[in-house]
A and B are shown apart, each in its own frame.
Chain A
Amino acid sequence: MDFAFTDEQVMIAETARAFFAENATSARTRRAMAADGIDRELWAAFCQDLGFAGVGIAEEFGGAGLGMVEFACIAEAAGTHVAALPLLGLATAARGIAAGGTAAQREKWLSRILSGEAVAANAGKWHVERQGNYLSGSFDFAPHGNIADVFVVSATGGSWLIERDAAGLKIEAPVTMDQTRPLATLHMDRVLGEPLADHLGAVKAMHSGGWICLAAEALGGAQACLDRTVAYAKERIQFGRPIGSFQAYKHRLADMMVEIEQARSAVYWAACAVDETSDEGPLALHAAKSFCADAFFKCAGDMIQLHGGIGFTWEHDAHLYFKRARSIQTLRAPGNWHREEIAKIILGDAA
């Protein structure tokens, strides 16, 4: 038992922090927001220069090895800057292919996804009928589905790979509140999916990867909300003193820190539990996803309040965090669902 980062983990986290701080600037993110929600140059550097896309994916599949702890360090740093990247697709679809794809699917897709040449996405809610591997209906709200080259989708009894140009697939990309992660709906009219070899294995990997990614992004985002608000609290003067000297204001910041410290424990607990295949895995994942999303939302909301009018402007970054936080709360199931899963583990079914 040693719940502290190793030197290597510290190094990865520092590299990731420096990379995003330098490159995922507000100006660049906003350019991506005004276009299709991805900073392609940033993604290319992330995948190729740093080789980060392969973290958490076995070397035999072309990944960098390492585990979810290291992946979480990277996702946390990405979340700190609300980077406009298809990171969630990587954490889900790529991990799904690695865990459950056929040899041919891994061969064909993983190196292209990990190098950034192809963007992968996983769709959320499904309303489909299937006849064999022909799927009709829709998959709703696929993050970065607007620009993905390949989708991994799951429905009862199966998971499939679907390419963007598959016959019968129409992608609808509505304007999304969080413009750093646009959601798209896949409309399917007898689309032929290419089945994965191990459906349940893929789903499990996509769940753990997705929940840890979101929880870690939320942690980074929440910490950024606190740090930026603390900086403002020290410089903004009202009633002849820094606003950060008012106790009501200080206490709200302290409460943010209390939530964030718990979120930090949650993220790395869940990541360790997955890496160590501990029995606590499911509980840890549901706890991390639900707790971190709520902590981030609270911090982002407080960030707006504690900045006053400037916090309500388009110009200030507070709304980027606020919208990202809201989207993380609902992505891959809302908090109540995760807490009910925990209730089932400890209390049994409700009825």
Chain B
Amino acid sequence: MKLGFSPAEEAFRTEAADWLNTQMAGPFKDIKGITTLTEKAERRKEWEQHLGEHGWGCIGWPKAWGGRDATIAQQVIFAEEYARAGVPGRVNHIGIELAGPTILTFGTEAQKARFLPGIAKGQTIFCQGFSEPGAGSDLASVRTKGRLETIDGVKYWVVNGQKIWTSLAHISDWIFVVTRTEEGSRGPKGLSFLMMDMAQPGIEIRPIQQINGDAEFNETFFTDARCAEDSIIGAPGEGWKIAMGLLAFERGVSTLGQQMAFRNELDEIIAAAKRNGSAADPLIRQRIAKAEIGLRLMRYGALRMLSNRDHSRMDGAALTYKIQWASWRRNLGELAMDVLGQAGEVTGGDGYRWGTLPNLFLYARADTIYGGTNQIQRNLIAERGLGLPREPRGDA
């Protein structure tokens, strides 16, 4: 067991930090410090491409697909330096963290060649089409239909139905969708995982405004939308297996980058507390200390799960990670508001747009919902981690 980094790893840290800082001081100064996912989206697509051009797009991927074969330690370091340099979050995080690893694991060689370089180069932005109005926590009840049809002598998957809560659909090039391709099937059987080009008349999106005033997610409607026959990942009917595999990738190295963003948020709270005097309040001090402890434990939990070599089972650190960080961040939002006091409840500008901390307070309410709600996480922990009886299913 060892926490320190080797001299070679520290040299890599310097290289990464230097490069990132140079970009943030120069050509991409205008996007430094942005904390929401939607602000200056077009410039941030350029940033994605810039990262890709310089080989920093997806460093953990194989070289053949545009990565660097970076070790876990190097990925940890890059994620840390990325956030430390004040670089905004990746607008293609769904492509990098979900679509890419899914294709790497389950895709054919042809599919890898078709999609991976584009993701690594920042040219193909992905969004995720899982949830539907009738299928949220219960993802297996999706109804969006996929049918293999021959049009002008060519076979296509033709898709009809509706997805909802599709984050960043409005800036995405591609979407992966879970569809029901077996007529009359129910539950996890008969589903397929399709990759679809967003730029087609059969796909229409409508933004949904969120509690923070922003509109990061959308409704996505499919009306005879199409994709080529070989745009299916895995075999027809294997969609559930692939979707579940994908959800496991959400607990990868990217979590460390996310943690560094949390670090920046906590630092901002600490700075605010020092400025307005609440840093002298013993209760606020206790809560800030607790937040600091929670954040550190998140880091070491993530390092434990990344260092875990026994991939035959998901270890406890991985299984409990989502609910841990989501609950931590929700508390952080409340702490931020208690530190700010009423000053946190007014904007100081025009329009319903919030600074980092009030926005954190509002946005964090979503953290305990998407990617499996806290209640669903507890079910998973109890059933998979502790072997307790599964929840009964209704017939409706």
A residues touching B (Cβ–Cβ < 8 Å)? 1-6, 9, 69, 226, 230, 233-234, 241-242, 244-245, 247, 250-251, 253-255, 257-258, 260-262, 264-266, 268-269, 271-273, 276, 278, 280, 283-284, 287, 290-291, 336, 339-340, 342-343, 346-348, 350-351
Contacts and interface: CB of A to CB of B under 8 A. Distances in A.
Interface stretch (B139-147, B212-220, B376-384): B376-384
Contact of B307 (A2, A69, A264): A2
Given A340-B289, A351-B280, A250 B388 contact: yes
Contact of B297 (A5, A287, A339): A287
Interface of B: 1-6, 9, 72-73, 76, 270, 273-274, 279-280, 282, 285-286, 288-290, 292-294, 296-297, 300-301, 303-304, 306-309, 316-317, 319-320, 323-324, 375, 377-379, 381-383, 385-389, 391
Contacts of A1: 2-6, 9, 72-73, 76, 303, 307
Contact of B308 (A4, A250, A350): A4
Contacts of B385: 254, 257
B282 to A, nearest CB: 7
Secondary structure class of chain A's binding surface, majority of residues: helix
A272 B293 CA distance: 16
Q: Which residue among B280, B286, B386, B387 has the maximum number of chain A CB atoms within 10 Å of its CB? A: B386
Given A3-B306, A339-B289, 20 more contacts: A1-B76, A6-B1, A230-B387, A233-B388, A234-B388, A234-B389, A241-B389, A242-B389, A244-B389, A245-B388, A254-B377, A261-B316, A261-B317, A262-B297, A266-B300, A271-B1, A278-B4, A340-B289, A347-B288, A350-B282
B3 to A, nearest CB: 5
B381 A257 contact: yes
Given A3-B3, A272-B2, A339-B285, A258 B274 contact: no
Contacts, number: 165
Given A247-B391, A347-B273, A342 B293 contact: yes
B301 A265 contact: yes
Contacts of B3: 1, 3, 269, 272-273, 276, 278
A306 to B, nearest CB: 12
Which one of A226, A247, A262 has the highest number of Cβ atoms from chain B below 10 Å of its Cβ? A262
Contact of A254 (B1, B9, B273, B378): B378
B308 A269 contact: no
B382 A340 contact: no
A272 B3 CA distance: 7
Contacts of A230: 386-388
A257 B1 contact: no
